[in-house]
Copies of this chain bind each other. A is one copy, B any other.
């Protein structure tokens, strides 16, 4: 038996980058956080501190900013461009992982179209992508996080098994609230990623709102199914959805009823529902999902 180096990767994380497109007086803003991580023949760095194969994380950072000079485009395309650069430029780098998180801004309102060069941060929701390159080539997994949604009715929960430790009361009308984290795997890399993202987001919102829910699992599965039905270029989608509990406050001690109106919102503990929805003929991609933490 000997002790050896296993899977490894390294790079620069969370390069905060704002790009202003100012070719016309009507500016556009792109606001992202970019992480670049390389894989390859890096054993000597670990075993003897030989850095001759270690493309410095500082160099990776510089490359991110330099590449932004030509514009970013969709975050998926920018990540692919970075990935191809590093794997093409260094013989011993044969793969890696490029992750980008994007923050959204709206124009400050003015007349019909808003100001030309003034912006206000919109939702806390983030769009993201993880591009992995390995011996099978690049794989693009994109997603959204912190998409917080709530149905104030049309949610039930009953019919679950009861045991010695069960005290929960069944209900046919509750608040259903969650913060959607979703990630979907594209089956190709030649796509209009911005357009697909907008549509996937819309479908998920619509499915959440229009599903009369008997379980958060059912809502999740509807969201995934409707995305896959509309987008053949997506092979599978994973969700991690906390059940943010809104407990109906018992106002009876104060001589008041509470017909579904006043709720206490709990921080912890929370339910946590995670599942994959996929096409049954799509090959497994466990090795790329391993780079995307937080989903089962």
Closest Cβ of chain B to A65, distance in Å, is 5
Q: A3-B280, A55-B160, A281-B1 are in contact. Are A262 and B19 (CB under 8 A)?
A: yes
Query: Number of contact residues on A: which range applies?
Result: 35 or more
Instruction: Return A4 CB to nearest CB of chain B, in Å.
Output: 5
Determine whether A24 belongs to the interface, using a CB cutoff of 8 Å to chain B. Answer: no
On chain B, the residues within 8 Å of A295 by CB distance are 293
Q: Give Cα A278 to B3, complex, Å.
A: 6
In the bound complex, do residue A261 and residue B22 qualify as a contact, i.e. CB atoms below 8 Å apart? yes
Check B6 against A160 for contact (C-beta < 8 Å).
Answer: no
Q: Is the CB of A56 within 8 A of B168?
A: yes
- Take A167-B62, A280-B3, A293-B294 as given contacts and tell me if A269 and B209 are in contact as well, using a CB distance cutoff of 8 Å: no
Contact with B along A18-53 (1 / 0, CB 8 A): 111110000101010101010000100111111111
Whole-angstrom CA separation of A204 from B245 in the bound complex: 36
Residues of chain B within 8 A (CB-CB) of A265 are 16-18, 31
Contacts of A279 in B (CB 8 A): 1-4
Q: Does the CB pair A22–B63 fall under 8 Å?
A: no
Q: Is A73 an interface residue (CB 8 A)?
A: no
Chief secondary structure at chain A's binding surface: mixed
Contact residue among B31, B69, B110, B220 (Cβ-Cβ distance under 8 Å from A262)? B69
> Would you call B271 and A12 a contact (CB within 8 A)?
yes
Do B165 and A63 touch across chains, with their CB atoms under 8 A apart?
A: yes
Considering the chains assembled together, what is the distance between the CA atoms of A48 and B275 in angstroms?
A: 15
Q: Does A228 contact B (CB under 8 A)?
A: yes
With A1-B279, A290-B286, A293-B293 as contacts: A58 and B123 at CB distance below 8 Å: no
Across the interface, do B251 and A217 meet the contact criterion of CB distance under 8 Å? no
Which residues of chain B are near A278, meaning CB under 8 Å? 3-4, 6
Interface residues of A (CB under 8 A from B): 1-22, 27, 29, 31, 33, 35, 37, 42, 45-59, 61-63, 65-66, 68-69, 89-90, 97, 105, 108-110, 115, 117-125, 147-154, 157-161, 163-168, 175, 202, 205-206, 208-210, 213-215, 217-218, 220-221, 224-225, 228-229, 236, 238, 242-243, 246, 249, 251, 253-256, 258-281, 286, 289-291, 293-296
